[in-house]
Structure 1
Amino acid sequence: MEATWLTFTWPTMAGAVLFSLVTYFLLRALYNIYFHPLKGIPGPKTWSATRLPYIWALLRGSFVHDIQKLHRRYGPVLRIAPDEVAFAEPSAWNDILQSYPGKPAFLKDPTWWTTQRIHTEGLLTAIDPERHARMRKALTPGFTTRALRSQEPVIQRYVNLLVERLSNMVDSSSPAEKDTGGVAAAEVDISPWFNFVTFDIFGDLSFGESFHCLENSNYHPWVAILFHTPAMATKVAAARFYPWLESVLFKLIPRSLRKMQRDHWGQVVERVERRMNYEVEREDIMSPILRENTKNQMSVDDINGSFMALVIAGSETTATALTGMMNYLIQNPQYLKQVTDEVRGLGQDEQQITLDSLRELKWLNAVLTEALRLCTPIPWILPRRVPESGGVVAGVTLAGQTLVSIQAYTMQRDSNHWHRAEEFLPERWLPDANKPESEFYTDNKEAFQPFSVGPRVCLGIHLAWAEMRLITGKLLRAFDFEAVEGKRLEWESLKTFMLVERKPVVVRMRHASR
């Protein structure tokens, strides 16, 4: 009798549970679409009903492109989840990120920024504004223009090593690679070389020791691990959207990725400890932090947590911008010639290629700025939460705790803000573009904030510009570049997992013709 009762009730109970779950999610979706406070914000009903389309786009790496398509259809203010609104409107930069008296801060969303159990909070992950401000105050002296002057010899040394390594590749090229005139040439994927040099520079300036990527013409094992970190963070964030499923979803993350994350943390701790136990002869990024620690501005855990993220933020982003720049230059020979002639116009003396001299070159700066517009290393600003008291973003009044994000990729390719928005046109950044007769006069430069704004504006902005100018300048001075037929990369096809994925950018290189 008991067995019969169990046979009868278990299927019934399972069916009832399933029916209840389906009913709950259906009713919840209907509420989100028709009764939620964000019901009036334009957007597709499927994205407004549930987080699932959002999460699917994240995991596929198609998020920024999917959002761009939706913005084009629905406008600059877009509902992309039941409780989240995306903005492709210039005023959103200040409304969300800027801070001033009387305006409550839009705090970072813990879904993205809460650290893993094996980590500690650092500068980039700190949610509390006061904690962030304390750490930033301690870190800032290592990133000022004054600090950069003392760091220039280090940057010069690694950029010179980059030129040397690439020169060796040209010299050792096979006979089949020689051009029609018998001149030595080499086909090179330039993308990893930008990573080699930026990681080596940041390693030396942060820890007093290089990663030796350039020396070995290969990625340091730790650097190889770093490429998986954004994908890992994306998957963790996706799991956190459903806390009741988080433990199950987290188990779907491959053990290899979780091990890489632990190894990454271990490498940071080890290098920080070594750096703290010896003195360097010249100032580096860590020097002022260690001095200021006598005032307890940053604990060892603060330093570890900060540099775990800064290693990526200070290297991979710059390498992405340089890769995008080179990809567009070889596809636009007229601009490649313009900026090459400008750099070589500084003269034959190596001593003339300095950060000060390159800072004054109009075409070099224009080319790099246009590359940042089209190949922005941070394609979207991760969500912030509207303060409990509510807030206004781009003229839209939002309830407290609403999630808001800024879609930089969309905004920087929007024809409402840019003339011939999808084209690589460096002249839009030349001084003449500010004249009323210029076709670029109406470009909305406020839409372009590649280093963010407000209290969390990029700490390494001066270092990033120094690296981009010096690396580009010395490469164009030393080599002639051209595209390789049949090996064109469409930047717009690249996936994004917080950061932009990397694919080969193949160039043909020769020693510079004078």
Structure 2
Amino acid sequence: METDTSTLPTIIGFSALLGVASHLGYFIHGEHHLEAVRLAILLFTSPLCIFTFIIKFDPRSAAWSAARLTAIIVSPYLASLTTSILTYRVFFHPLRRFPGPLSAKLTKLAHVLRLLKKSDNYLQADRLHKKYGEIVRIGPNEVTIIIPDAVPLIYGPGSKCTKTAWYDVVGLPNKSLQLERDPAIHAKRRKVWDRAFNSKALKDYENRVVGHADQLVKQLQARSGEPVDGSLWMNFYAFDVMGDIAFGKTFDMLATGEKHHGLTALQDGMAPLGLATPFPWAIPIFQALPQPPGIDHWINFCDKQILARKKYNPEQSDIMTWLIEAENENPDPIVSDPRWLWGDTRLVIVAGSDTSSSAMTHIFYHLAKEPYIITKLREELATFYKPGSENEIRDLQDAKYLNGVINEALRLHPPVPSGVLRQTPPEGITVGDTFIPGGVTISAPSWSMGRLESCFKHAEEFLPERWVDNSELILNKGVFIPFASGAYSCIGKQLALMELRIVTARLVTGFDIAFAPGETGKGLLEETKDVFTMEVASLMLVFTRI
């Protein structure tokens, strides 16, 4: 079929008009991330359908002629759709007056390309703030903010901000406490988790936390005076504790001194998350495709843990005791949906190991770098602390300087350094004199907030004493929320602090701690990856028994 050239302007004009109409009438209204797969299929199949229709309509038409006409129909649509999107984002979007790089106003693609080079999202955000100011537009519909007053507005108990589209797609097709966007449903599921972290449950976990600390001490005693990868051993400890408390079994890394494939699975599974976060709508598309071996390894590992756990009942209750009970016995179908158990399994593995090991590694980095802190810790602990005593865990709760060391590590090296994403309410929010429109993705990056001189004097220095006796070194404590706050605060906070206190106290009182020959900690600071949580790099240390 030969195209009548007199009709070409009409075809092109209509196609272009349809592209603009698609943008203004559909794409800028509401959320479409859950429709991403259908839209992608439509995008790739529409030209084929048009081509097939042309051939069927006129069997005498040459393939090249049909292909040419298909291109004439499709190209103006795509060109006008793209032009409309980019024009709107630069000149008409509610965020058009906010400072930021032009590439970020147009698309998040440049962000992803930078992350492909190096997964350091929190450092990229910090550099942008230093260049553009306290509020930076880092995407077509996204801002990052480092104004202290913004923290309670975004994350506080009374915040009207909600979770973003990212939470819908990360765990598909499963559900989890962390990813639930509906506040009412989240509150119901949180009550199930509360049973696993109430005071009685935490008391039951104490012996297991201490027992694994004993194993860690024994392994380091066997390697006294030798260089060891402190980061790796902190991962061993956190992962074994997580396995014991979550699934009623240990992964025996502390016993064998060898890396379990589950830890590799965790790292493989988290790696793509840093790249996917800027493009939540793309996640369902990637999930619909054949998965890379690393992702399959992660998913299979998580699924095997819960399948195995459902086949037996450990002597002591664990986290899964309460989650499985909710699935089997809770009459509320919202709470007993089987998808919760599969999604929460992944949550407990990540939250129960990655975050704790990151904090511990950075604590020992600073102890090796600044030995005077070890001296002060020993002086404090010498007044009351007896390793292995019946009240060991409770005694450490009130150790002011020890808690200061932990807080300072969490301030300078938050386990979730880029902060978490929220969406402003329809009416928007006002931070200081700045109005931020509704429906905007917003975050306050923890790594940058913890380094604000307006909140912490000598903010770049590791000073545990700033947390002791209402020190004047803290100007605004409200920005320090390493365990989040409000309804979405970390339910495992007290367990994490229990682990951090016992490991720090045991190793400080049992060993001299120093960098291994040639180690400066530079690699830890520069090579640690931001994959939503911190994936810490190697840190070679020497623990010498005293």
Partner of 2:413: 375
Q: How does 1:344-363 map to 2 (within 5 A)?
A: 344-346=382-384, 350-351=388-389, 354-363=392-401
CA deviations on 1:283-325 (whole Å, 9 max, x unpaired) are 4333444555533354243223212211110111011000011
Residue pair 1:86, 1:406 contacting (<8 A) in 2 also: yes
- Select between 229-238 and 358-367 the one with higher mean Cα deviation: 229-238
Alpha-carbon separation, structure 1, partners of 2:390 and 2:192: 34
Partner of 2:347, secondary structure, is helix
Partner of 2:94: 37
- The counterpart of 1:64, out of the listed 114, 122, 136, is 122
Alpha-carbon separation, structure 2, partners of 1:10 and 1:294: 60
- The counterpart of 1:458, out of the listed 490, 495, 506, is 490
Structure 2 stretches lacking a partner, 5+ long:
3-59
Q: How does 1:223-238 map to 2 (within 5 A)?
A: 223-238=263-278
1:202 aligns with 2:242: yes
- Select between 257-266 and 362-371 the one with higher mean Cα deviation: 257-266
Residue pair 1:112, 1:382 contacting (<8 A) in 2 also: no
1:295 aligns with 2:330: yes
TM-score of the pair, normalised by structure 2? 0.80
Partner of 2:257: 217
Partner of 1:138: 192
Residue pair 2:228, 2:540 contacting (<8 A) in 1 also: yes
Alpha-carbon separation, structure 2, partners of 1:350 and 1:315: 23
- Per the TM alignment, residue 13 of structure 1 is displaced from its structure 2 partner at its CA by 7.1
- Per the TM alignment, residue 392 of structure 1 is displaced from its structure 2 partner at its CA by 3.7
Structure 1 stretches lacking a partner, 5+ long:
171-184, 435-439
Alpha-carbon separation, structure 1, partners of 2:93 and 2:68: 35
Alpha-carbon separation, structure 2, partners of 1:349 and 1:470: 9
Partner of 1:256: 293
Alpha-carbon separation, structure 2, partners of 1:509 and 1:318: 20
- The counterpart of 1:84, out of the listed 126, 142, 155, is 142
Partner of 2:444: 406
Q: How does 1:450-489 map to 2 (within 5 A)?
A: 450-489=482-521
- Per the TM alignment, residue 189 of structure 1 is displaced from its structure 2 partner at its CA by 0.8
Alpha-carbon separation, structure 2, partners of 1:354 and 1:213: 24
Partner of 2:512, secondary structure, is strand
Closer/same/farther in 2, CA of residues 348 and 448 from structure 1, 3 Å limit:
closer
Residue pair 1:94, 1:454 contacting (<8 A) in 2 also: no
- The counterpart of 2:306, out of the listed 264, 269, 272, is 269
Partner of 1:431, secondary structure, is coil
- The counterpart of 1:109, out of the listed 151, 154, 164, is 164
- The counterpart of 1:282, out of the listed 313, 316, 319, is 316
- Per the TM alignment, residue 9 of structure 1 is displaced from its structure 2 partner at its CA by 8.5
Closer/same/farther in 2, CA of residues 395 and 214 from structure 1, 3 Å limit:
farther
Closer/same/farther in 2, CA of residues 16 and 205 from structure 1, 3 Å limit:
same
- Select between 384-393 and 368-377 the one with higher mean Cα deviation: 384-393
2:85 aligned partner, one-letter code: R
Partner of 1:323: 361
CA deviations on 1:35-66 (whole Å, 9 max, x unpaired) are 21111222222211222222224443121111
Closer/same/farther in 2, CA of residues 65 and 115 from structure 1, 3 Å limit:
closer
- Per the TM alignment, residue 347 of structure 1 is displaced from its structure 2 partner at its CA by 5.6
Partner of 2:223: 169
1:498 aligns with 2:537: no
Closer/same/farther in 2, CA of residues 210 and 395 from structure 1, 3 Å limit:
farther
Alpha-carbon separation, structure 2, partners of 1:212 and 1:324: 23
Q: Which has the higher contact order (CA 8 A, sep 6+)?
A: 1
Alpha-carbon separation, structure 2, partners of 1:456 and 1:387: 17
Residue pair 2:150, 2:431 contacting (<8 A) in 1 also: yes
Structure whose alpha-carbon radius of gyration is higher: 2
Partner of 1:85, secondary structure, is strand
Partner of 1:228, secondary structure, is helix
Residue pair 2:246, 2:348 contacting (<8 A) in 1 also: no
Q: In angstroms, what is the RMSD of aligned CA positions?
A: 2.9
Closer/same/farther in 2, CA of residues 26 and 10 from structure 1, 3 Å limit:
same
Partner of 1:429: 467
Partner of 2:179, secondary structure, is coil
Alpha-carbon separation, structure 2, partners of 1:286 and 1:254: 27
- The counterpart of 2:106, out of the listed 46, 49, 52, is 49
Alpha-carbon separation, structure 2, partners of 1:55 and 1:504: 25
Partner of 1:160: 214
